[in-house]
């Protein structure tokens, strides 16, 4: 197994080496360096430490035959046959990736009475749509859906699979990945394809201001989830291309230890995902009552109020207003951030917005790196003035 070996004799300054480890995984014991279980094998000590002091001993890996795995597949996310738009975004991406290696695009669609709807996918560039239409697949049940996914992968052997990071996708993708003992990268923001069919996956990592480029170099299929509104949806083509492949699976494989007793529709409420204008409250908002001005500005612009994580954690707004990696990903036409510093988890959830206007007192705030128009100023001064001006303008025009 891959490991780090410490060559004590090559270390001149123990303390310097200890400092290099960002995880505190190096300890000094009796004048010797030891690596403990906090080690994440990032190998910074190998690269940044005294030459030869820490050695990385790699595994001998038996390389797999990647030519056995062909094509880019997309999981068709749907509820009761209504296809989630993230599916089309992923088909667009899959087509782009597959073109680079000259391989086909597949879609896998599982559910009940979905055969008719499956044709829609042929307008978005899928070369083959594998349809598993079975009454037992009426509701999403993890065991049955994973069994179908397994059947599809065994049959088609795709090089890569893209899954929407929806409620269903976030359960189904990991279970399937574990079954194939393969890699799954969550919430990718950038995807690319190498000639050798390795999928380059980029996602925000360490929950901090860092992006990580991740590969799944020696297992197949490579799996990635992508959030809704991260990729661009392709234009619907008037003509159908490609073909539908009807598939079936043995009924016993669809047996589950989960049973859906009832489905209760949620009250329809306006969600921040669908808003064209969002006004976002950040930590610069000092009191819960001050959200009123943010709300007023949003109302005047026909938009909705959203927030960063601290506002939700403070209990000032419900979690469904939260933008970011642990909240919603939004892509409105206009977003105005008020007192938002711009942590990467937040930015990842909104940086595809058409226009970003940000107000923050700190000229060095990271939000200004993504803002199209950055206003270095006080929200308590600017927002009330904006409200006044819009009201006046509306009053004049009314």
Partner 1 sequence: MDILVCIKQVPGTNEVKIDPVTGVLNRNGVDSKMNPYDLYALETALRLKEKHGGKVSVISMGPPQAQAIIREAYAMGADEGALVSDRKFGGADVLATSYTLSQGIKKFGKFDLILCGKQTTDGDTAQVGPEIAEYLNIPSVCNVSKFTEVMTDSVSVAMDMPHDVEIVQVQFPCLLTVEKDIFQPRLPSYIKKTATKEQTVQMYCLQDFDDKDEKKYGLSGSPTQVQRIFPPTSDKKRELWVESGTVLADKMFEKISELKFIQ
Window 182-201: residues binding partner 1 (CB under 8 A)? 182-187, 201
Report the alpha-carbon distance of residue 394 to residue 206 in Å, rounded. Answer: 46
Identify the H or E element spanning 193.
Answer: strand 190-193
Is 33 a binding residue for partner 1 by CB under 8 A? The answer is: no
Residues between 103 and 132 that touch partner 1 (CB under 8 A)? none
Is 66 a binding residue for partner 1 by CB under 8 A? The answer is: no
Residues between 190 and 249 that touch partner 1 (CB under 8 A)? 201, 204-219
Of 107-115, 134-142, 152-160, 239-247: span binding partner 1 (CB under 8 A): 134-142
Is 395 a binding residue for partner 1 by CB under 8 A? The answer is: no
Q: Given candidates 42, 99, 248, 292, which one binds partner 1 under the rule CB under 8 A? A: 42
Report the alpha-carbon distance of residue 323 to residue 345 in Å, rounded. Answer: 9
Of 23-31, 91-99, 151-159, 285-293: span binding partner 1 (CB under 8 A): 23-31
Is 28 a binding residue for partner 1 by CB under 8 A? The answer is: no
Of 155-163, 231-239, 246-254, 255-263: span binding partner 1 (CB under 8 A): 255-263
Q: Given candidates 38, 99, 288, 314, which one binds partner 1 under the rule CB under 8 A? A: 38
Q: Is 269 left (phi over 0), alpha (psi -120 to 50) or beta?
A: beta
Minimum Å gap between C-beta 244 and partner 1 is 27
Q: What is the per-residue binding string for partner 1 in 300-319, x denoting contact by CB under 8 A?
A: xxx----------------x
Residues between 71 and 100 that touch partner 1 (CB under 8 A)? 79
Q: What are phi and psi of 307, to 5 degrees?
A: -155, 170
Is 22 a binding residue for partner 1 by CB under 8 A? The answer is: yes
Minimum Å gap between C-beta 325 and partner 1 is 5
The DSSP bridge partners found for residue 32 are: 29
Q: What is the per-residue binding string for partner 1 in 151-170, x denoting contact by CB under 8 A?
A: ---------------xxx-x
Of 105-113, 229-237, 238-246, 386-394: span binding partner 1 (CB under 8 A): 386-394
156: tokens are: 């088609």
Is 20 a binding residue for partner 1 by CB under 8 A? The answer is: yes
* Torsion sign across C-alpha atoms 276, 281, 284, 290: positive
Number of residues that bind partner 1 (CB under 8 A): 112
Which of 57/116 has CB closer to partner 1? 57
Residues between 345 and 384 that touch partner 1 (CB under 8 A)? 345, 347, 351, 355-357, 359, 363, 368-378, 381-382
Q: Strand 82-83 to strand 78-79: parallel, antiparallel, or no bridges (unpaired)?
A: antiparallel
Q: Report residue 346 CA to chain centroid gap.
A: 12
Residue with tokens 């509820």: 79
Report the alpha-carbon distance of residue 286 to residue 283 in Å, rounded. Answer: 7
Q: Given candidates 142, 253, 299, 316, which one binds partner 1 under the rule CB under 8 A? A: 142
163 with 224: CB under 8 angstroms?
Answer: yes
**CA distances for 223 relative to 63, 216, 275, 313, 376, angstroms:** 18, 8, 30, 32, 42
Residues 6+ apart with CB under 8 A from 209: 343, 344, 366
Minimum Å gap between C-beta 15 and partner 1 is 16
Roughly what angle, to the nearest 10 degrees, separates helices 169-179 and 142-156?
Answer: 60
Which of 15/102 has CB closer to partner 1? 15
Report the alpha-carbon distance of residue 234 to residue 95 in Å, rounded. Answer: 10
233: tokens are: 């949806």
Minimum Å gap between C-beta 338 and partner 1 is 11
Minimum Å gap between C-beta 37 and partner 1 is 4
Is 295 a binding residue for partner 1 by CB under 8 A? The answer is: no
Minimum Å gap between C-beta 147 and partner 1 is 12
- Please confirm whether the linkage preceding 221 is cis (ω < 30° from 0): yes
Minimum Å gap between C-beta 93 and partner 1 is 19
Residues 6+ apart with CB under 8 A from 86: 77, 164, 165, 166, 169, 226, 227, 228, 229
Q: In what order do the strands lie in the sheet with 72-75?
A: 184-185, 222-226, 160-164, 72-75, 105-111, 128-133, 243-247
Minimum Å gap between C-beta 236 and partner 1 is 22
97 with 72: CB under 8 angstroms?
Answer: yes
Is 397 a binding residue for partner 1 by CB under 8 A? The answer is: yes
Minimum Å gap between C-beta 49 and partner 1 is 11
């Amino acid at each position: 197994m891959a490991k780090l070996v410490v060559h004590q004799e090559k270390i001149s300054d123990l303390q310097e080496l200890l400092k290099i480890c960002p995880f505190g995984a190096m300890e000094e014991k009796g004048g010797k360096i030891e690596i403990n279980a906090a080690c994440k094998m990032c190998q910074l000590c190998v690269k940044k430490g005294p030459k030869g002091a820490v050695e990385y001993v790699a595994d001998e890996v038996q390389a797999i035959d990647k030519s056995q795995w062909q094509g880019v597949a997309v999981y068709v996310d749907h509820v009761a046959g209504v296809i989630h738009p993230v599916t089309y975004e992923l088909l667009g991406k899959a087509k782009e990736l597959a073109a680079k290696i000259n391989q086909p695009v597949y879609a896998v669609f599982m559910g009940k009475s979905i055969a008719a709807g499956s044709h829609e996918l042929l307008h978005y560039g899928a070369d083959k749509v594998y349809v598993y239409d079975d009454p037992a697949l009426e509701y999403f049940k993890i065991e049955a859906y994973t069994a179908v996914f397994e059947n599809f992968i065994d049959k088609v052997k795709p090089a890569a699979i893209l899954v929407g990071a929806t409620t269903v996708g976030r359960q189904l993708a990991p279970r399937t990945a574990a079954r194939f003992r393969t890699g799954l990268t969550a919430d990718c923001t950038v995807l690319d394809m190498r000639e050798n069919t390795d999928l380059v996956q980029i996602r925000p990592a360490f929950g901090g201001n860092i992006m990580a480029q991740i590969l799944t170099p020696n297992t197949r299929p490579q799996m990635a989830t992508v959030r809704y509104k991260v990729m661009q949806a392709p234009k619907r083509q008037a003509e159908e291309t490609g073909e539908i492949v009807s598939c079936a699976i043995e009924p016993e494989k669809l047996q589950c230890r989960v049973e859906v007793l009832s489905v209760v529709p949620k009250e329809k409420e306006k969600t921040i995902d669908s808003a064209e204008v969002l006004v976002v409250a950040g930590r610069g908002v000092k009191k819960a009552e001050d959200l009123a001005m943010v709300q007023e500005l949003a109302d005047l612009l026909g938009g909705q109020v959203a927030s960063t994580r601290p506002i939700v954690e403070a209990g000032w707004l419900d979690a469904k207003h939260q933008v970011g990696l642990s909240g919603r990903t939004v892509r409105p036409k206009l977003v105005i951030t008020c007192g938002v510093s711009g942590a990467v988890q937040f930015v990842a959830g909104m940086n595809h917005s058409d226009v970003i206007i940000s107000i923050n007192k700190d000229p060095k705030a990271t939000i200004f790196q993504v803002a199209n128009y950055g206003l270095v100023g006080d929200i308590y001064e600017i927002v009330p003035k904006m409200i006044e001006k819009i009201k006046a303008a509306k009053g004049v025009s009314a």
